[in-house]
């Protein structure tokens, strides 16, 4: 695929995202109120059921198949010592995902979601498991403190890789709920930089410790992000430019996967801070995508609240997660499913009152 | 059963609640840290797994069988117009639970929990479904504004009914997680009164709209609770006395069920505001019971935060629920199960590093 073909695919995908079905949502909302419970008494579960009804265009939405997509990419900025883990851990984890041994395997398994692992840019050479989907655009990004993360062409290709792999996975499984997760040592640095640019906030307010660095390292991380932004001048009105300058290959692919899932009629489950950075990119390209998104949880990363505010999405869960991999999205799946099940399985007050009067 | 036999059963149950297994919890905590993720990065899920390990005395706790117990009772205080629903709705809902049509049926079904419905005190005559467990102590409580809810003897019997029915259900199913829910029109009034007494707070700060009354009715509800407390002088150092004066039959039974579940080695899942009132009663009788409790969610009722503070338990979920029935507890089950599954199913970093070096 050439980068102009990739650009075309991105535009076509964006143009095929439809608004939610308002009249079905209204009908679903009325049905929620008629069910055997005081109106609104199941709070956010009702909201989830109604949203899924609007996405699927039916008052009885289905949640048979669920997907958990994990995009992996490495980050050149790890050369600056921004992460507690060495970069080769990305490859260790990709192997663990394919072997069924990581946190996401346990949690997606419990949620009944099928996992697909896609390498869009690991840097470490490793024995690729047969289950792995390999769509490597390049071997890790450049060190954003001193160079662009990737070329503009590579950014188009990485977003397109997300669109294609998510589109294929949805076509194969018929998934109606798609969790979007990631693996990439060093990627909280890129995610914080993207958050600063897309929300217009000071990097100091949206940068945290990632999966394990202390206060001194957070200060260093903030300094690196400020330097990267000063060097590259990313402009939020050009999302592909922002991705190429300070983004990540897996973040670009997640952005594409979210666009594809929205275009494909699925509910898009944002995971944590890195997945949220992908969502900010997708939202900058196509604000309509937000309607089909659910923010699964509030990450322990401080920048996650800024993302939530920008996306105008309220997290469903707050469990102190800071792992990524799609683990938060997996935990949100039972809530979405339960919201849909209310519409399909509960009785109405009217039906039950009739039965009380006539016990036959 | 005589009330002195009931009192004996309560004391025996309390005396058989064991402290958590501290050394197993320490081992489970170490295992959590060795798993293929940064220590602590799965936040409250890790806490749940470790707690369950301490309850079961094994580093690999099981969550095969789950129970959702629903205790139903009516409230004489409904004569004061404290509820938006007429009292016979309690019976309508009990029938709906047994017919599988209510919110808890959908949510417990999704969570894989078996439902048991126990009538410990409905006032409305109704055709009893064959699935229903009938342990009616009396037909609804007295109107607490003008009379005691029940006699002291009835309070013992109601708590004992909870102990027996929960004990039987746990013996039958082998459940390791027990959600405790309820149905009883008017019961937020009793629950708010109990909360005020057991937390020492002003009724005005712990009384809310229940499942549907407006601001004017909340004011009236507060006035009634204040009158009831002034009339009966409930004393928190005598929990059975408090229950008999301002409690509810289903609340007393939930208190007993929590004691029995704790004694039976299960994790006790508190549901919403009314279930929390049962937990406050159980905690007042036996503070050790708290160690085996999880507060499933933060109810929309304002008094729920006061309960959480008194029990020193942090809610797992905050979904704006105000339904009861055990619905919040059912939504917490997947989180507990996932926490346990981390311990039994995830790989350790050490194991995976070895595999990376030796791909055979």
pLDDT tens per residue across span B244-259? 999 999 999 999 999 9
Task: Tell me the nearest-neighbour CA distance from B326 into chain A, angstroms.
Answer: 12
Examine residue A186 and state whether it is found in any structural domain, yes or no.
yes
Same domain, B12 and B144: no
Buried b (16+ CB within 10 A) or exposed e, B133-146: bebbbbebbbbbbe
Shortest distance between the Cα of A356 and any Cα of chain B, in A, equals 6
Do the Cβ atoms of B322 and A127 come within 8 Å?
no
- Clarify whether residues A327 and A283 are in a common domain: yes
- Quote the distance between the C-alpha of residue B54 and its chain's center: 20
Cβ contact (<8 Å) for B356 and A95?
yes
Q: Look at residue A233 and tell me if it is in a domain.
A: yes
pLDDT attached to residue B360: 46
**How many other CB atoms sit within 10 Å of the CB of residue A125?**
9
The total number of structural domains in chain A stands at: 2
A-chain residues within 8 Å CB-CB of B130?
A: none
The Cβ of residue A261 has, within 10 Å, a number of other Cβ atoms equal to 33
Cβ atoms within 10 Å, residue A102: 30
pLDDT of B355 > 90? The answer is no
**Helix/strand/coil for A278:** helix
pLDDT in tens, B51-92: 999 999 999 999 999 999 999 999 999 999 988 889 999 999
**Same structural domain, A52 and A149:** no
Run of H or E residues at A33? helix A22-34
B325 is catalytic: yes
CB distance A113 to A330 below 8 Å:
yes
Q: Please name the member of A39, A338, A347 whose beta carbon is closest to the beta carbon of B101.
A: A347
User: How many Cα atoms within 13 Å fall on the side-chain side of residue B63?
Assistant: 29
The rounded distance, in Å, linking the Cα atoms of B85 and B108 is 24
Residue A353: closest CA among chain B residues belongs to which residue?
B92
8 Å CB contact of A317 and B317: yes
Residue B316 has pLDDT above 50, yes or no: yes
Q: How far apart are CA A225 and CA A204, in angstroms?
A: 9
Whole-number Å distance between alpha carbons of A69 and A47? 24
- B254 within domain boundaries: yes
Q: Which residues of chain A have pLDDT under 70?
A: 211-212, 355-360
Query: Which residue range forms the structural domain that includes residue B319?
Result: 66-333
Half-sphere exposure of A212 (CA within 13 A, CB side): 15
Q: Is A127 helix (H, G, I), strand (E, B) or coil?
A: coil
* Sheet containing A113-121: order of strands: A133-134, A113-121, A66-73, A177-183, A267-270, A293-295
Q: Please check whether residue B338 lies inside any domain of the structure.
A: no
Picking from B85, B95, B211, the nearest residue to A356 by CB comes out as: B95
**In CATH, what number is assigned to the domain containing residue B170?**
3.40.50.10210
Q: Is A310 helix (H, G, I), strand (E, B) or coil?
A: helix
Give the closest-approach CA distance of A357 to chain B in angstroms: 9
SS (H, E, C) chain B: CCHHHHHHHHHHHHHCCCCCCHHHHHHHHHHHHHECCCCCCEHHHHHHHHHHHHHHCCCCCCCCCEEEEEEEECCHHHHHCCCCCCCCHHHHHHHHHHHCCCHHHHHHHHHCEEEEEEEEECCCCCCCCCCCEECCCCCCCCCCCCCCCCCHHHHHHHHHHHHHHHHHHHHHHCCCEEEEEEECCCHHHHHHHHHHHHHCCCHHHHCCCCCCCCHHHHHHHHHHHHHHHHHHCCCCCCHHHHHHHHCCHHHHHHHHHHHHHHHCCCEEEECCHHHHHHHHHHHHHCHHHHHHEEECECCCCCHHHHHHHHHCCCCCECCCECCCCCHHHHHHHHHHHHHHHHHHHCCEHHHHHHHHHCCC
Does the distance separating the beta carbons of A359 and B127 come in below 8 Å?
yes
Take residue A218 and report the two structure tokens written for it: 């957070």
pLDDT at B212: 67
Q: Does residue A55 sit in the same domain as residue A92?
A: no
Taking residue B264's Cβ as centre, other Cβ atoms within 10 Å add up to 22
Closest CA to B55 of B173, B238, B178: B178
Q: Which residues of B touch A352 (CB under 8 A)?
A: 92-93, 95-96, 99, 101
Chain A residues within 8 A of B211 when measuring between CB atoms: 38, 41
CA A330 to chain centre: 11
Q: Say whether both B87 and B117 belong to one domain.
A: yes
> Is the backbone of residue A122 left (phi > 0), alpha (psi -120 to 50) or beta?
beta
Q: What is the pLDDT of residue A212?
A: 66
Return the pLDDT at B84.
Answer: 85
pLDDT digits (tens, 9 = 90+) for B163-177: 999 999 999 999 999
Answer yes or no: do B79 and B185 share one domain. Answer: yes
Radius of gyration of chain A (CA): 21
Residue A199 falls inside a structural domain: yes
* pLDDT at A357 (0 to 100): 63
Q: Do A110 and B341 touch (CB under 8 A)?
A: yes
- Domain harbouring B351, CATH code: 1.10.1610.10
Query: Are B345 and A106 a contacting pair at CB < 8 A?
Result: yes
Q: Average pLDDT of chain B?
A: 95
Nearest to B323 among A37, A93, A316 (CB): A37
- B346 to chain A: which residues are within 8 Å by CB? 101-103, 105-106
d(CA B170, CA B165): 9
Nearest CA in chain B to A297: B317
pLDDT at A268: 98
* Chain B closest-CA separation from residue A52 CA (Å): 17
> Could you tell me if B152 and B208 lie in one domain?
yes
Please tell me whether residues A244 and A351 are part of one structural domain.
no
* Alpha-carbon gap: A227 to the closest alpha carbon of chain B (Å): 28
Q: If pLDDT is split at 50, 70 and 90, which confidence band does B108 have?
A: very high
Do A116 and A179 lie in one domain? The reply is yes
Question: Which of A250, A325, A351, A352 does the annotation list as catalytic?
Answer: A325
- pTM beyond cutoff 0.90: yes
CA distances from A47 to A294, A339, B29, B133 (A): 11, 7, 36, 34
Collapse the DSSP code of A280 into the 3-class scheme (helix H, G, I; strand E, B; otherwise coil) and give the result. helix
Q: Determine the residue of chain A that is closest to B320 in CA distance.
A: A43
Contact A338 B319 (CB under 8 A): no
* A107–B345 CB contact, under 8 Å: no
Burial letters for B214-242: b for 16+ Cβ neighbours within 10 Å, e otherwise?
eeebbeebbebbbebbeebebebeebbbb
Residue A338 inside a domain? The answer is no
Q: Both B165 and B309 in a single domain?
A: yes
Vertex A292 angle, CA A289 and A295, to 5°: 100
Question: Which residues on B lie below 8 Å from A91 (Cβ)?
Answer: 356
Q: Is residue B308 part of a domain?
A: yes
Sign of the CA dihedral running A260, A262, A268, A272: positive
Query: In 10 A of CB A360, how many CB atoms?
Result: 4
Q: What is the pLDDT of residue B358?
A: 56
pLDDT given at position B210: 75
Edge to edge, the sheet with strand B113-121 lists B133-134, B113-121, B66-73, B177-183, B267-270, B293-295
Q: Does residue B19 sit in the same domain as residue B119?
A: no
Q: What is the pLDDT of residue A360?
A: 46
**Residue in A31, A70, A89, A106 to test binding to B, most B beta-carbons within 10 Å:** A106
State whether A319 and B322 contact (CB < 8 Å).
no
* Residues B295 and B195 grouped into a single domain: yes
A106: nearest CB among B106, B320, B341: B341
Query: What would the pLDDT profile of B141-158 be if each residue is shown by its tens digit?
Result: 999 999 999 999 999 999
Q: How far is B162 from chain A (nearest CA, A)?
A: 25
With an 8 Å Cβ cutoff, are B359 and A106 in contact?
no
């Amino acid at each position: 695929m050439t980068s102009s073909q990739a650009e075309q695919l991105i535009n076509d995908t964006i143009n095929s995202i439809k608004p939610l079905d308002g009249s079905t949502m209204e009908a679903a909302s009325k049905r929620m109120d008629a069910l055997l419970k005081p109106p609104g008494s199941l709070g956010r579960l009702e909201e989830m059921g109604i949203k899924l009804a609007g996405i699927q265009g039916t008052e009885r939405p289905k949640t048979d198949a669920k997907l958990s997509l994990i995009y992996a990419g490495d980050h050149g900025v790890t050369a600056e010592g921004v992460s507690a883990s060495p970069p080769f851990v990305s490859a260790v984890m990709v192997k663990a995902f394919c072997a069924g041994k990581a946190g996401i395997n346990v949690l997606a398994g419990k949620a009944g979601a099928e996992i697909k692992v896609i390498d869009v840019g690991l840097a470490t050479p490793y024995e690729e498991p047969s289950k792995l989907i390999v769509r490597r655009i390049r071997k890790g990004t450049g060190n954003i403190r001193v160079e662009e993360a990737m070329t503009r062409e590579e950014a188009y290709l990485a977003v397109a890789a997300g669109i294609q792999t998510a589109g294929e996975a949805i076509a194969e499984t018929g998934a109606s709920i798609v969790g979007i997760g990631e693996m990439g040592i060093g990627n909280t640095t890129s995610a914080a930089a993207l958050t600063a640019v897309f929300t217009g906030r000071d990097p100091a307010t949206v940068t945290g410790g990632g999966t394990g660095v202390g206060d001194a390292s957070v200060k260093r991380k903030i300094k690196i992000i400020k330097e990267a932004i000063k060097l590259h001048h990313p402009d939020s009105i050009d999302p592909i430019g922002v991705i190429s300058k300070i983004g990540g290959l897996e973040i670009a692919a997640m952005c594409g996967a979210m666009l594809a899932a929205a275009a494909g009629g699925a509910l898009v489950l944002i995971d944590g801070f890195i997945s949220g950075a992908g969502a900010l990119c997708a939202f900058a390209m196509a604000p309509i995508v937000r309607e089909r998104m659910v923010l699964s949880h509030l990450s322990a990363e401080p920048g996650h609240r800024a993302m939530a505010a920008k996306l105008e999405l309220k997290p469903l869960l707050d469990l102190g997660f800071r792992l990524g991999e799609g683990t938060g999205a997996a935990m949100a799946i039972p809530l979405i499913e339960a919201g849909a099940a209310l519409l399909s399985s509960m009785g109405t007050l009217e039906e039950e009152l009739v039965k009380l009067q006539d016990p036959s």
